[in-house]
Amino acid sequence: MHQKADHRVPVLIVGGSLVGLSMSVFLGRLGVRHMLVERHSGTSIHPRGRGNNVRTMELFRVAGVEPDIKAAASLLAENHGILQTPTLVGDAGEWLFKHIDPGGGLARFSPTAWCLCSQNDLEPVLLDNARELGGELRYSHQMESFEQDADGVTAVIRDRATDRCHTVRADYLVAADGPRSPVRGALGIGQSGPGDLFANVSVTFRSAALADVVGDRRFICCYLTHPDADGALLPVDNKERWVFHAPWHPERGESLDAFTEERLRDHIRRAVGVPGLDVEITGKASWRAAERVADRYADGRVFLAGDSAHEMSPTGAFGSNTGIQDAHNLAWKLAAVLDGWAEPGLLASYDTERRPVALATSARASARSVEHSHPGFAPAPGVGGGKRGGILNVVLGYHYPHGAVVGTDEDQPVVPDGLALNGRPGTRAPHLWLRRAGARLSTLDLYERSLVLLTDAPDDAGWYEAARRVASLDGVRLDAYRIGPGADADLTYDTGAPGAADAPDWAEAHGTTADGAVLVRPDGFVAWRATGAVPDPEGTLREVLRTLLRPARRP
């Protein structure tokens, strides 16, 4: 069948929402030719999924799209925190948190920060960048069926505008086709977890007078707790466009048709506390929050990413961010295998690494919904009872105890209680401000297209030359940088950076010595480190790479 395919691409992406578009951008940056098909005619038109956490913004920074995203997010740049109050009249209520980064402490860990950009604003940015990078993106196209064999996947794609079908032959298929994923269903992959948590009706509306009621309270979200009209209010432009999430209880037999415009207007007015508030309903969409994780993320040459792999409570915006980070993890591995410098066994580490992160993160998301008393959420016994508290350790501190990593601490939880980005294998590599040819950059900016070995300048104990020889002789994409203050350094310290005077040097920050070395993956995670010199650095490095790029399955 595949001999007669109409199109051939290395990777076929099914689904053109946030995760699919992110996958397209990441693959495009790595030079991997691909096709994306999306059954809808265009990007999202409903304001949702607005919280892009610091780890996601690091990935978008390295991919070159951060400036465009910040421009698209400019209307909500000054909005921070979550307010909980009976109504918006008066000054009752409390801030669940007022600033996501009080005191600016995040700058010690990252070159970027959280960004509030709604899905309907973010997706067009990703779409434009994906196309500029050469991605073949086809909207109004739906995958009807697929089958795989030992050499690839053959998919039947229907053009919904013409109703014509054509076949696409791909080496690999990435399913970013949502929580009711037809691909996951066709593969017979089950899901684990509590299941449905609660349901809401999301309403977009216009109100010119609401801005005066809100005043100078620039929140990300406001939980309104009126006993007869609770819900969540979100600003779109802080002026006249708003979103309201009204609790919906289908488990009690409540019909979606019961949410008429008249009922919704009355509900919003009572929730806000202004009986005569001008409310013009402009849109309505239902959604269900759930906690589910696919039992496996791959089947042969087919991979699940985003909501097809996991569903999470919306509190904390963990779901979309976890999905985008899925895509980034998978993209470099697909590129490495397709380019021939890694064995196909590397792809097994996608499930090994990302599925435990989803299990831990989804549990934290449900716990955060309980902690914040999310409107409409009445958790069943045992649901949402996990660890609570800050989220920085969840979004930045997670680690991979198994997978394409060597020398990890397998006893550490996937999501630690605290944040310690100190170069331990399996964790996100530390951020330090450096200079290269006079230009300022973060260490995180080095990690995208290749493995990177960091060594000391001038005394690197032979690691630098070993890396150059391995890259030349073995065909592995491996760059090496010597870091130090001298003229022979490839990267020097940025002494003008905030906190640079008392910042540790690169070796101390990465938990090694000047005679050691640190190997970082293209996704910015530490793959391995040597805490000191070894007799045969080239042989040691070659053995480590052999283990990384053909990882054994977890026992």
Q: Is residue 453 part of a domain?
A: yes
443 and 523 housed in the same domain: yes
Helix (H) or strand (E) holding 325: helix 318-339
Identity at 82, one-letter amino acid code:
I
199 and 138 housed in the same domain: no
Q: How far apart are CA 238 and CA 452, in angstroms?
A: 44
Q: Over the stretch 401-435, which tens digit does the pLDDT of each residue have?
A: 999 999 999 988 999 988 989 999 999 999 999 99
279 and 332 housed in the same domain: no
- The CATH number for 541's domain is 3.40.30.120
Q: Is residue 98 part of a domain?
A: no
Q: For tokens 């009249």, name the residue.
A: 89
Residues 6+ away with beta carbon under 8 Å from 447: 62, 429, 520, 521, 522, 523, 524
Identity at 527, one-letter amino acid code:
A
First to last CA, the chain: 37
Q: How far apart are CA 85 and CA 102, in angstroms?
A: 21
Q: Is residue 83 part of a domain?
A: no
123 and 27 housed in the same domain: yes
Helix (H) or strand (E) holding 507: helix 506-509
Q: Is residue 101 part of a domain?
A: no
Q: Over the stretch 506-532, which tens digit does the pLDDT of each residue have?
A: 999 999 999 999 999 999 999 999 999
The dihedrals phi and psi of 39, each to the nearest 5 degrees, come to: -70, -30
What's residue 165's pLDDT? 97
Q: Is residue 351 part of a domain?
A: yes
Q: Over the stretch 16-72, which tens digit does the pLDDT of each residue have?
A: 999 999 999 999 999 999 999 999 999 987 777 778 999 999 999 999 999 999 999
353 and 441 housed in the same domain: no
197 and 166 housed in the same domain: no
514 and 485 housed in the same domain: yes
Nearest to 427 by CA among 440, 416, 435: 416
What's residue 488's pLDDT? 86
Question: Can you count the helices (H) and strands (E) in the chain?
Answer: 13, 25
Q: What is the mean pLDDT of the chain?
A: 91
**At 555, is the pLDDT very low, low, confident or very high (cuts 50, 70, 90)?**
very low
- The CATH number for 373's domain is 3.50.50.60
Q: Is residue 416 part of a domain?
A: no
Which is more confident, 100 or 295? Answer: 295
Q: Is residue 480 part of a domain?
A: yes
Task: Give how many domains the chain has, as a whole number.
Answer: 3
| Position 368 pLDDT exceeds 70 | yes
What percent of the chain is predicted at pLDDT more than 70? Answer: 93
300 and 391 housed in the same domain: yes
Lowest-confidence region among 243-247, 385-389, 456-460: 385-389
198 and 185 housed in the same domain: no
Q: Which of 246, 272, 290 is the last residue of a domain?
A: 290
- The CATH number for 281's domain is 3.30.9.10
Which is more confident, 459 or 338? Answer: 338
262 and 357 housed in the same domain: no
Q: Is residue 165 part of a domain?
A: yes
Q: Which of 238, 261, 290 is the last residue of a domain?
A: 290
21 and 162 housed in the same domain: yes
Q: What is the Cα 73 distance to its own chain's centre?
A: 17
Q: What is the pLDDT averaged over residues 279-308?
A: 95
What's residue 14's pLDDT? 98
166 and 243 housed in the same domain: no
**At 552, is the pLDDT very low, low, confident or very high (cuts 50, 70, 90)?**
very low
Q: Over the stretch 111-128, which tens digit does the pLDDT of each residue have?
A: 999 998 988 899 999 999
**At 553, is the pLDDT very low, low, confident or very high (cuts 50, 70, 90)?**
very low
281, β-bridge pairs: 205
Is the pTM here over 0.85, yes or no?
Answer: yes
Nearest to 69 by CA among 80, 83, 54, 82: 54
In terms of residue numbers, what domain contains 142? 2-77+117-191+293-395
Q: Is the peptide bond before 458 cis (omega within 30 degrees of 0)?
A: yes
Q: Is 193 within 8 Å of 206 (Cβ atoms)?
A: no
What's residue 554's pLDDT? 44
Q: Which of 345, 366, 395 is the last residue of a domain?
A: 395
Neighbours of 78 (CB within 10 A): 10
